[in-house]
Structure 1
Amino acid sequence: MRIIALFNLKPGIDAADFEDWAKARNLPVVRAQPSIEEFQLYRTTGLMRADGAPPYAYVQVIDVPDMEGYDKDAASEAMQAVQDEFGERAEAPVFMLTEALSLV
């Protein structure tokens, strides 16, 4: 399972401060969870072959091979704290559950 989160920062949240927090706190805590195979954070830089700003400033990609394990990890004190801190910074994040298609 791959979780893709799209979000912008809340008004008044500085991008550099958010990225410092993500590097020092968010990524290490999430990556330390046994159920997380991979966790990446991306800053959007533009739209491909289009003018205007992207609708979201950030994208998170979380690879979770075991959703039951993830639910257990997400309930931990460390993850709850990081989720609360993320909620203080991210405005209305959209979390999408995805699965790869076997099209061969």
Structure 2
Amino acid sequence: MAALVVLFNLKDESAREAYEKWAKTTDVPTASAMESVDSFKVFKMGNIMGTENPSPYQYCEVLEINDMGKLGEEVGSEAMKKVAAEFQEFADNPMFVISEQIA
């Protein structure tokens, strides 16, 4: 199983409520509808365990992918292009990390 992990901060701290609403009502439902996506979860990051230090990232998205090739095709759809453009309005230099489950 592969996963796409997206780590990011918001461009504007005041956009937190708008981003979280958009993630729940638009991003997750649209991306979850893709055949290549088995699950999609968004996490709000907290402190680094055992410290008072905040995570270097405010949010983490985790998409479990069943077919990376199919994902490449599906992200080119008009619906996903629209979602991606909206995401870029919120996210400041997001990092997209492809990962592979080993256990």
TM-score scaled by structure 1? 0.92
Range with greater deviation from structure 2 (10-19 or 83-92): 10-19
Q: Is the 8 A contact 1:42 1:59 kept in 2?
A: yes
Q: Using the alignment, how far apart are the partners of 1:63 and 1:31 within structure 2? A: 10
SS in 2 for 1:83: helix
Aligned partners of 1:8 and 1:58 also within 8 Å: yes
Aligned to 1:9: 10
Q: What amino acid maps onto 1:61 in structure 2? A: V
Task: Check whether the contact 1:13–1:89 (CA below 8 A) recurs between aligned residues.
Answer: no
Question: Which structure features the higher share of strand residues?
Answer: 2
- Give unpaired runs (5+ residues) of structure 1: none
Point out where structure 2 has 5 or more consecutive residues left out of the alignment: none
Q: Which residue of 2 aligns with 1:27?
A: 28
Amino-acid identity (%): 31
Q: Across the two proteins, how many residue pairs are aligned to each other?
A: 102
Q: What per-residue deviation string (whole Å, max 9, x for no partner) do you get for residues 13-53 of structure 1?
A: 52111100111111110001111111000001211002221
In structure 1, C-alpha distance between the alignment counterparts of 2:62 and 2:95, rounded to whole Å = 12
Tell me, in whole angstroms, the C-alpha distance in 2 between the residues paired with 1:64 and 1:6: 17
Q: Give RMSD over aligned pairs.
A: 1.1
Stretches of 4+ aligned residues off by more than 4 angstroms: none
